[in-house]
Amino acid sequence: MLELDEARRAFLLRAAMTAVAGAGVGAVPTSLAQAQQHHQQSAAQPAVHQHPPSTGHGAFLNADDAATVAAFTERLMPGAPGKPGALDAGVLNYIDLALAGAYAHLQDFYRRGLTSLEAYCQKTYKTSFVALGAARQDEVIRALETGKATEFGWPRPQAFFNTLRTHTIEGMFSDPIYGGNKDFAGWRLVGFPGAIPVFTTEDMLSKEAYAGKEIIGLQARAPVRRA
């Protein structure tokens, strides 16, 4: 189990390193950035908005669906001593807020996918996904990833798995202003410095992970709105 956790964490870390390197200082998911840009153009508002505090769900997900998403994402990015996982980073909060906003077009996708996931677990294990042990949850996830999970129509199991994995990566490593990456947990994990405005030539050429004391997110760089 520990070997599987490490392998899964390593895979997502590699994906995250590629994502944050290509996203620039803001590390903004493309869909969210486009939605913010559209809002700015249509309403003449600053492009950066901070999400209100949340307990982790309630913007879109109900309690049962939130528990399933939280358990699923934690198995995709499991925490360990000194290594934050999806729960530590607030990935559930990120997904919930995104589904109520920029990813609203995926609401039915999530509803149907979670319903199919529950039906598969009940048929196969006679209980819900959240009630399964970690090993059984991993079996379910592998069944989705390989397309072997029954009870799925639309979305297909692989599509549902791939979407949740993508959103887990975003919730772990995008700027905290979007509701995830709590306390810069994901950025600290990969040594990403955040929205630092100036680097020296030496900084840019260095291959070492960022070791500075301060990490800056987009909220610190948001324009001040004047009356």
Q: How many residues does the chain have?
A: 227
The values of phi and psi at residue 181, to 5°, are 45, 50
- pLDDT at 58 (0 to 100): 84
pLDDT surpassing 90 at residue 192: no
Between CA 53 and CA 16 the distance in angstroms is 25
Between CA 100 and CA 115 the distance in angstroms is 19
- pLDDT at 33 (0 to 100): 53
- pLDDT at 49 (0 to 100): 40
pLDDT surpassing 50 at residue 35: no
Helices marked H in the chain — which ranges?
A: 2-23, 30-43, 63-76, 86-89, 91-99, 107-125, 134-145, 157-173, 185-190, 201-205, 218-221
Q: Compare 145 and 6 and report the one with higher pLDDT.
A: 145
Between CA 217 and CA 181 the distance in angstroms is 10
pTM, two decimals, is 0.75
What's the burial of 172, exposed, middle or buried (CB within 10 Å: 0-12/13-18/19+)?
buried
pLDDT digit string, tens, across residues 164-185:
999 999 999 999 999 999 999 9
pLDDT range class, residue 43, cuts 50, 70, 90: very low
Between CA 43 and CA 157 the distance in angstroms is 39
pLDDT digit string, tens, across residues 74-125:
999 998 888 899 999 999 999 999 999 999 999 999 999 999 999 999 999 9
